[in-house]
Amino acid sequence: MQIGSRFFKLRRRFGIAAPRVSVRSEVAWYLRWAGLIVVLACSAALAAWMYDAGRRFAGFDRSEVEQELDDARRELQSTRAELERLRAVANAADSRLSIERTAQLKLTQQIRGLEQETARLREELAIFESMLSAESRAANPLSINRFKVAPDVLPGEYRYRLLLLLAPGSRRDRDFQGRMELVVTLSEGGKSAMMVFPEAGDPSAEAFRLNFRQFHRVEGIFRVDPKAKVESVQVRVYEAGSDQIKAAQTATPG
């Protein structure tokens, strides 16, 4: 019995009923990974090709878009360059316009100055013509003309102008020497007051001294309290060595 049982087992292991055995060769792990990487790369390339083909089929071409983008960039740079050129031209035009306006303003000021000078010369000519009459030479050899007083820029400041004339032949060609003073009548707070310029010890008293041959133009500024109101100003002319008024005239600020 034991012999038969063993025989049966051997027959079952090596006989027709024995299990099949397959023989396979062993593949290295790095070759497997290399193959997997190759498959994945091919799949990615195929997917990219299919994606690009799909976009081209839908009407989108990447190369055309990049070309249009480059063209747009070049056009933008050209537009910027043209804008800078136009700005430079505009700035140059503004500079020329400003120069022309400044020149025009100076020319206008010069014309106004010449017109004022012409008017002044006409007034002086009229005064000189009036001096040639015998009556004026005999009655008043020294005369005060065009005496005007007007407020100046700063409060309390007043500018005065006048023209002193000597009748021809009245001095026998000698210079007139003397001094001038201003008597200012003003009011403040309902009270009247009087000021005389130049005041005692005034360093500007030298400007009130006179020394001229035929005519002398006088212009200056006097100052009072800004709160006071100047009612009138009288100019008095004295000859050197005398306290007697040689000529006087009164004006109101205007």
Q: Mean pLDDT for each 10-residue chunk of the chain (254 residues)?
A: 56 56 61 78 78 62 73 86 88 86 88 85 71 53 88 92 78 78 91 89 82 87 92 93 90 89
Kind of pairing between the strands at 245-251 and 229-239: antiparallel
pLDDT of residue 231: 94
Q: What per-residue confidence (pLDDT) applies to 156?
A: 92
Task: Give the model's pLDDT for residue 25.
Answer: 57
- Per domain, the residue ranges of the chain are 66-131, 140-251
Statement: the pTM of the whole predicted model exceeds 0.85:
no
pLDDT score of 134: 47
Domain over 140-251 is classified CATH 2.60.40.10: yes
- Per-residue pLDDT, 194: 92
